[in-house]
Structure 1
Amino acid sequence: MRRGRRIGLGLLACRAAAEPHPIVAAADPVDGRLALTAANSGQTIVVPVATMIEVRLEPVSISVRTLPESSDPHALPRLSACGACDAVKVATFRAVGDGEISATRPQGDAEARLIVTIRVAG
């Protein structure tokens, strides 16, 4: 397994371990902002430095997601986060360096994990 590669439970466990994360070269963010959802889980997104990334996670059935978090608060600081227990979770990050944004939700005895890898271009 390559260094830095993470395999989460639930959503990502369905992927083949040898399959690399697809790279999505984000088109120029609109006004320096990029919007992500649960549909971006497992992707690697390339953005310009200082891009504002908003992650919006809708509730799934009766499962409650955690607020999105950064793997490295210095490289990918979370600037804001909101969402009541059973509501939509929204968090905003600034891409200063490479990192991952993750959130979890219970799924039976396991948990479904959302992971989006952010790479800063340049």
Structure 2
Amino acid sequence: MKIGELSRRTGASIRSLRYYEEQGLLAPERLPSGYRVYDDRSVATVHRIRVLLSAGLGTSAIAEILPNVYDDSVVLTGRCPELHEGLAVERARITKQIEDLQTAREILDSLIGRPLVITGVKQPR
């Protein structure tokens, strides 16, 4: 499939797909005319890239992760302890972000459904 079709199937802009290629995240075949041609596996790869980017990982980390993804499972060998350490840091950051979002949702729930009570903060009289 050409880049426009991949864009339609993944929701990623053509510009993003070209950027992913520049960063070494996608490797389309090139026709003699210069057109990029993607296989069906590229759809899943783009979805993975977008999820990892939305989680806050940088393209260099994603470039290290993608070759280790097999059928939506990630298999990391002991070859790269720095990657393991970096991923642990990213996981902790994401966990903190999830906790913060859950707290924000609870506050919004309070505003929507019942009076807001924030513990540890003096309420004005």
Higher alpha-carbon Rg: 2
Higher helix content, 1 or 2 = 2
* TM-score normalised by L of structure 1: 0.20
Instruction: State TM-score, norm by structure 2.
Output: 0.20
